[in-house]
Amino acid sequence: MKVLFLGDIVGRSGREALNKHLHKINFDNQIDFTIVNGENAAGGFGITEKICGELYNAGANAITTGNHLWDQKEISKYIEKDNRLLKPYNSAEGTPGVGYNIFKTENDEKIIVINLIGNVFMKTNDNPFSKIDELMNKLKNEKEVKFIFVDFHAEATSEKVAMGHHLNGRVTAVVGTHQHIPTADACILSGGTAYQTDAGMCGDYDSVIGMDKQPILDRFRGNEPKNRFTPALGEATICGVIVESYSDSYRAKSIIPIKVGGVLGQ
């Protein structure tokens, strides 16, 4: 099975890039299932029902999220009726929505998508390592699973690397999000799990991690920003990975980073 995963979609620029390129990327690479992280899709902060519809129409099959999921108030009600939109599985008990789901591709093959969030330098959630162990135990009786994908939305690279090793041999892929910068460490770990510390973002890289440069430069220079933080609106680069699993197991065969359009895609 071939799975495409795209990092954090940042604002209008990121959404427009998906509308422009995603169907072609899926077709050209014979993608069986597409996952995108949408937590920054609404002006850089959160996601809405309308935007979820746009992402599905653009070619996404499932949407993962992270710490900005709840920035748009409407999402709390919407997420309860859309099981393709995932919250971090280790969110506090009672949080609406689901943190994983079992999907089927058009070829009727089974894929499990799991969303986790880190605790280092982030607002504290339940321990992602113990929660994923609970979930893996719960899923062990699932039959004929062809792919298990984990989006680990975390700030610290060490926490992400640790999660990759923690799940090595138990899932097909662990790919990080949140930092918005694609890392150069895509690999297959010793147990057959594909790993990359951060997929990067789908946004304008002539920016500071997707946001307009000037207000952020003002703050770093010690000045009061004159304008609020808003997404940069130049041409976005679509960043992510394509992971292929073996036909007879959910071990990873390959992981290939992709960059399409914008500054990084040149």
Active-site residue flag, 23: no
The CA distance from 67 to 251, in Å, is 29
The two three-digit tokens of residue 154, written as one number: 């975390």
Between CA 4 and CA 249, with CA 247 as vertex, the angle to 5 degrees is 95
CA distance 188 to 14: 28
Of the candidates 175, 218, 215, 214, the residue with the CA atom closest to the CA atom of residue 193: 175
Distance CA 139, CA 207 (A): 41
Concatenating the DSSP letter of every residue in 120-182 gives TTS---S-HHHHHHHHHHHHTT--SEEEEEEEEE-S-HHHHHHHHHHSTTTSSEEEEESS-S-
Residue of 21, 68, 153, 180 with catalytic role: 68
- Per DSSP, the residues of 191-230 read TS-EEES---EEB-SSSBTTB-HHHHHHHHTT---SS---
Query: Amino acid identity, residue 239?
Result: C
**Which residues are the active-site residues?**
68
